[in-house]
């Protein structure tokens, strides 16, 4: 019973933390202006800030991915700011390519804690934390999972890669290739064997 009580207490603490984060604006991608920038990035332990331009299609694509991630990763605050309307921070943080996503930890960022454009998210070879090559997209088409992996690698979100089919089979979570026999017009065949009847 003691283990159960400890787990319930832990779940209560996690729930309170989630509610506190929601009150701070976590759980959604919020647009901010220059005067709100410092309070936003300083007010949370982890913040993702998207510098965008309202007319750039790639910025809209990044917004879509960040909106999806914000809903799932309530532990991190997601904000966006129009780069044209905040010249001081755009210059101070050396934002030269849009979209640029900068990660802050208690208001502090370092050079490697950013995503510049779609670099590494499409077309280029990308590897996850275990060294496996991640499936590639082309052009502006990349899965949100790839951006999540990048932000998780930086440490700004709590990210765990999805298990591959091979890993799931290895740990017994999926059936191995079955040798289920099926009958087709009175003929017994192994599953997966396809012979043409024509």
Confidence (pTM): 0.72
Per this entry, what is the length of the chain? 198
Q: Is the pLDDT of residue 145 over 70?
A: yes
* pLDDT at site 177: 54
Direct distance between the N- and C-terminal alpha carbons of the chain, in angstroms, rounded to an integer: 65
Contacts of 35 (CB under 8 A, 6+ apart): none
pLDDT digits (tens, 9 = 90+) for 83-100: 999 999 999 999 999 999
Q: Looking at per-residue confidence, does 49 or 20 come out higher?
A: 49
Please give the Cα distance from 31 to 156 (Å, whole number): 19
Please state the rounded mean pLDDT for residues 137-142: 67
């Amino acid at each position: 019973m003691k283990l159960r009580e400890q787990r319930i207490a832990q779940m209560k603490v996690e729930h309170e933390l989630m509610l506190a984060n929601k009150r701070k604006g976590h759980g959604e991608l919020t647009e901010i202006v220059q005067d709100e920038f410092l309070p936003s990035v300083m007010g949370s332990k982890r913040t993702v800030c998207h510098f965008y331009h309202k007319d750039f299609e790639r910025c809209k694509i990044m917004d879509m991915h960040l909106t999806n991630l914000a809903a799932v990763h309530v532990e991190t605050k997601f904000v966006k700011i129009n780069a044209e309307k905040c010249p001081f921070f755009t210059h101070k943080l050396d934002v030269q390519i849009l979209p640029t996503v900068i990660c802050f930890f208690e208001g502090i960022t370092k050079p490697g804690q950013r995503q510049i454009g779609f670099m590494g998210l499409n077309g280029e070879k990308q590897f996850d934390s275990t060294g496996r090559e991640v499936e590639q997209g082309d052009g502006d088409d990349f899965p949100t999972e790839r951006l999540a992996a990048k932000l998780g690698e930086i440490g700004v979100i709590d990210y765990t890669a999805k298990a591959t089919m091979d890993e799931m089979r290895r740990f017994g979570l999926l059936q191995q290739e079955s040798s289920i026999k099926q009958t087709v017009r009175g003929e017994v065949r192994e599953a997966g064997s396809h012979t043409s009847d024509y």
